[in-house]
Amino acid sequence: MELPVIRKSADLSVEPNLREYAAACKTFSWDSAQEWIDGLPGGGVNIAYEAVDRHVVHGRGDHVALRCLGKQTQTDITYAELARRTNTFANALRSLGIEPGQRVFSLVGRVPALYVAILGTLKAGSVFAPLFSAFGPEPVKQRVVIGSGVAMVTSAALYRKKVAPVRDEMPTLQHILLVDEPGDDVSDIPGALHLTELLAEQSEEFDLAQTGPEDMSLLHFTSGTTGTPKAAVHVHGAVVAHYATGHFALDLHAEDIYWCTADPGWVTGTSYGVISPLTHGLTMIVDEGEFDARRWYRTLAEHHVSVWYTAPTAIRMLMRAGPELAKEYDLSSVRFVASVGEPLNPEAVVWGREVLGLTIHDNWWQTETGGIMIANYAACDVYPGSMGQPMPGITAGVLQRGEEGRAQAGPDGHVVEVPAGEIGELALRTGWPSMFRAYLDEEQRYNKCFVDGWYLTGDLAKRDENGYFWFIGRADDVIKTAGHLIGPFEVESVLMEDPRVAEAGVIGVPDPMMGERIKAFVSLKPGVDDDPKTLRRELTAHARRRLGPAVAPREIEFSDNLPKTRSGKIMRRLLRARELGLPEGDLSTLETGPVPANEEA
């Protein structure tokens, strides 16, 4: 789909934060941005202070921080109230003997208690590790074990379904903090406490932990091609990037009503569904419900949302609901729309212009970068299909790849940037504040991400003559399905648990709604002659039970000859080639994701 550039000079209803992109890139520095946050005496910094308490200190305590849309109720929480509640949570952690640096996990939907828990944990100097509530027991267990979680905020129902089956395998986990109202019998849950009761006993005053910029704040789990999930370590000093990226890329202002549709179980839902917006002192919508096109439009209209940060899968689902539905609602309050997580197809940009009357601004980042790195800005022209230009303070490059398909240093130790228009690995010059500081306990895996002063993203991209970046695909085999990053190895391992399975290879295949759909190719052990239909049903059920619906394969195909390297490793790229009907020799065409339709626009 060929689309012309969207010129922005005449398109702005409000003076945007970033008016002159080129000038800002010259003048901006991360050192000078430190002035945008308050900090703590003696050079300290604490994310929760910047997100909550400082607004109270500056006289905005009465401003609504969270507007929580429950299934039946609506609750507004002001900054002052949030400060008090997060203090009680921090005190509760102390009363349980949970120390700074120790890890508190969550496995719960978007209820107010989750937000109190995240910010309260950060106030206490402990580390928060959010999990996606659609994960099954296996992904939950792996992550809690890697992070040595001592406490988990969850509900009794989620606990019984997803934690109880693997509780014995998580020896560090002592405290289960239930968000349910007290009343039900929870004696089957070892270490269970009702948060309402626990918090009611605590003081609303708390001496904030004097965290430093390099102290660990959050653990975000992400998946690689092989091995266990990786726990990306983030620090309190990242908050300056959360503030700055919200300012530049999402055009946040203190009077905004802002809605990020991502779940805090993933990094977008924490960085931009909790921290960044609150550092701006605005009012944030927290919607407990799952996707529903009518309710979403109603939420935008009734709550006068001005800035909306969402994802391509959600936009495609709204597109499917038809333009008439959107027309039933007054969406005139919406000033700025941004999207992240997967390629934003140009059709979605056209839909945004036609149906919402607004440009959808694609931006790019990942778990490891902690914040938005490349974006389309309110005042800059948009080339539909491009993810935009690097943030002020960020240097992005497209690096030449070696034989393995990843950027590689030459014999002189240096990498080479490819010319405009050529595909290479997307890389970022190291040193921005929200960059991850480690993969927990995996130094080698971390070190492999860096070469010659660049952080290698694992994505393939190209840059055009105007300096805009275009996403091409992944350089590795990880899968992006409905915006969620899934490691094929995790899925393969669970399929292999069935004694009838000899081998499994898992890939993402293109899907019109989810971007990619998880498909498994399975070879069976000799002599297994079960009815394929029944076997497929049983394997699917097993995978869904162990992994949860977000991670389990949607499709299973039985195949006797899975393509392998000489050393016996399954070649997922060749599976992909087969699936797409591409010649197996031509691996260059196998990069995931659509090729931008409008390079020359």
d(CA 506, CA 555): 10
- Quote the least distance from Cβ 530 to ligand AMP, whole Å: 36
- Quote the least distance from Cβ 478 to ligand AMP, whole Å: 8
- Quote the least distance from Cβ 466 to ligand AMP, whole Å: 17
> Nearest-CA neighbor of 308 among 243, 249, 382, 257?
257
Burial group, residue 153, by CB count within 10 angstroms (0-12, 13-18, 19+)? buried
d(CA 48, CA 208): 9
Q: Is 387 in the site for ligand AMP (CB under 6 A)?
A: yes
Site string for ligand AMP, 402-441 (x = CB under 6 A): ----------------------------------------
Residues 537-556 that bind ligand AMP (CB under 6 A): none
Site string for ligand AMP, 454-493 (x = CB under 6 A): ---x-x-----------x--x-----x----x--------
- Quote the least distance from Cβ 116 to ligand AMP, whole Å: 24
Angle at 352 between CA 351 and CA 356, to 5 degrees: 115
Q: Is 209 in the site for ligand AMP (CB under 6 A)?
A: no
**Near ligand AMP by CB under 6 A, which window of 92-100, 356-364, 415-423, 523-531?**
356-364
Q: Is 173:152 a contact under the CB 8 Å cutoff?
A: yes
Q: State the residue for tokens 């080698």.
A: 444
Q: Is 71:109 a contact under the CB 8 Å cutoff?
A: no
Going from the C-alpha of 414 to that of each of 362, 398, 417, the distances in angstroms are 31, 14, 10
**Near ligand AMP by CB under 6 A, which window of 27-35, 62-70, 326-334, 364-372?**
364-372
Closer to ligand AMP at the Cβ: 61 or 343?
343
Using the rule CB under 6 A, which residue among 362, 476, 492, 591 binds ligand AMP? 362
Structure tokens at 434: 């929200």
Structure tokens at 127: 């580390």
Size of the residue set binding ligand AMP (CB under 6 A) = 18
Closer to ligand AMP at the Cβ: 106 or 345?
345
Site string for ligand AMP, 211-230 (x = CB under 6 A): -----------x--------
Angle at 37 between CA 467 and CA 307, to 5 degrees: 55
**What DSSP element (H or E) covers 78?**
strand 74-78
d(CA 582, CA 461): 21
- Quote the least distance from Cβ 37 to ligand AMP, whole Å: 24
- Quote the least distance from Cβ 388 to ligand AMP, whole Å: 8
- Quote the least distance from Cβ 516 to ligand AMP, whole Å: 10
- Quote the least distance from Cβ 227 to ligand AMP, whole Å: 16
Closer to ligand AMP at the Cβ: 39 or 515?
515
- Quote the least distance from Cβ 341 to ligand AMP, whole Å: 5
Site string for ligand AMP, 328-347 (x = CB under 6 A): ------------xxxx----
Going from the C-alpha of 392 to that of each of 238, 272, 371, 420, 544, the distances in angstroms are 15, 18, 13, 20, 43
Q: Is 364 in the site for ligand AMP (CB under 6 A)?
A: yes
Q: Is 325:331 a contact under the CB 8 Å cutoff?
A: no
d(CA 81, CA 64): 9
Q: Is 109:133 a contact under the CB 8 Å cutoff?
A: yes
| Phi, psi for 582 (deg, rounded to 5) | -95, 155
Residues that bind ligand AMP in the complex, under the rule CB under 6 A: 222, 267, 340-343, 362-364, 366-367, 387, 457, 459, 471, 474, 480, 485
